[in-house]
């Protein structure tokens, strides 16, 4: 459970970074591009004694990991485009509701859960989706001016990419990381794929004159990259610890990030919640309990 809590903590710290970037005029794209090399270095420093990084292109899983790294960059880019076009509300909702994809795959395809889900557990999953939709809802009349395809298409793209990448991580964990000690080497290959993709995208935009390099964006890449790697690495360890049960881990992880982010936004950024937002958070707490009530009872 400690791995899960730490993964949530570092994921919230990622959102804090994005929240303060505009204040310091940080280029989000450059921060994303620089953060993955930082992730790679962080992983090398955390690699267990006796292990070393080896990029073996003869292995199928190596190419799988590199492609998944490209998926990470694509997901970030789509999230940025969606935030600019349809706002944070729909983007955030699409991101978090995407947990239904890895949960469903874990339950009905991977069958990696460590327990049999009962009626209350399934009710918790349903309430989790309702809670995310309600907790992230905000009334924004300007959104009604967006075309259906711009608004719905971007939201669907974010939903699918987050769901696909999380499902891919779970698949990778099941088939290639049976031992927690192998988590860092495998993760590093994915991070390398993301770093290559990010640098290529950044260089392309520089050549096109769409970006101008600023050294402060490297610092932003560091503050983003360290928690990014740790949140991802700890999530993999969490999945391994709970028998690769994405159906158990992902709902709690997503709800935890929502609640943690809400607490930080209220405490440090003075953001206010509407009544419907508070109702959503209450449902989120109930959903978390229903999804994991067996484990809660075992703790007492």
More confidently predicted of 28 and 182:
28
Q: Judge residue 157's burial from the number of C-beta atoms within 10 Å of its C-beta, 0-12 exposed, 13-18 middle, 19 or more buried.
A: middle
Per the structure, the count of domains in the chain is 1
Number of Cβ within 10 Å of residue 288's Cβ equals 22
* Structure confidence by residue, pLDDT tens digits, 34-92: 998 998 898 888 877 777 777 878 777 788 888 888 888 888 877 766 765 665 555 66
pTM of the full predicted structure? Answer: 0.75
Output 117-126 pairs: Cβ under 8 A, ≥24 positions apart: 117/247, 120/290, 120/293, 121/290, 121/291, 121/293, 123/290, 124/251, 124/286, 124/287, 124/288, 124/289, 124/290, 124/291, 124/292, 124/293, 125/100, 125/247, 125/251, 125/287, 125/291
Q: What is the DSSP string of 209-226?
A: TS----THHHHHHHHHHH
Per-residue pLDDT of 206-245, as tens digits, reads: 888 887 888 899 999 999 899 988 988 888 788 777 776 6
- Sign, CA dihedral 108-113-119-121, equals negative
Q: What is residue 143's DSSP assignment?
A: G
* Residue 10, pLDDT score: 92
Q: What is the pLDDT of residues 122-179, one digit of tens each?
A: 888 788 778 766 665 554 444 444 455 555 677 788 888 988 988 888 787 777 765 6
Range of the domain at 268: 2-298
């Amino acid at each position: 459970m400690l791995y899960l809590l730490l993964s949530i903590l570092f994921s919230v710290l990622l959102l804090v970074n994005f929240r303060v970037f505009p204040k310091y005029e940080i280029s989000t794209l450059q921060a994303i591009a620089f953060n993955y090399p930082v992730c790679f270095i962080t992983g090398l420093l955390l690699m267990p004694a006796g292990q070393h990084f080896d990029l073996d292109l003869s292995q199928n899983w190596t190419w799988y990991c590199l492609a998944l790294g490209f998926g990470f960059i694509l997901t970030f880019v789509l999230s940025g485009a969606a935030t600019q076009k349809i706002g944070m509300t729909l983007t955030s909702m699409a991101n978090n509701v995407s947990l239904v994809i890895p949960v469903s795959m874990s339950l009905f395809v991977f069958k990696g859960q460590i327990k049999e889900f009962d009626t209350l557990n399934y009710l918790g999953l349903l309430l989790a989706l309702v809670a995310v939709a309600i907790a992230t809802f905000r009334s924004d009349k300007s959104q009604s001016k967006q075309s259906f395809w711009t608004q719905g298409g971007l939201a669907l793209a974010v939903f699918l990419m987050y769901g696909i990448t999380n499902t891919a991580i779970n698949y990778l964990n099941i088939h290639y990381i049976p031992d927690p000690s192998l988590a860092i080497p495998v993760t590093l290959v994915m991070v390398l794929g993301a770093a290559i993709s990010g640098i290529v995208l950044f260089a392309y935009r520089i050549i096109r004159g769409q970006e101008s390099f600023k050294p402060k964006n490297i610092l932003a890449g560091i503050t983003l990259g360290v928690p990014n790697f740790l949140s991802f690495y700890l999530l993999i360890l969490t999945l391994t610890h709970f028998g690769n049960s994405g159906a158990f881990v992902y709902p709690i992880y997503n709800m935890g990030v929502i609640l943690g982010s809400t607490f930080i936004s209220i405490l440090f950024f003075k953001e206010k919640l509407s009544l419907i937002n508070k109702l959503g958070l209450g449902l989120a707490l109930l959903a978390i309990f229903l999804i994991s009530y067996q484990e809660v009872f075992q703790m007492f």
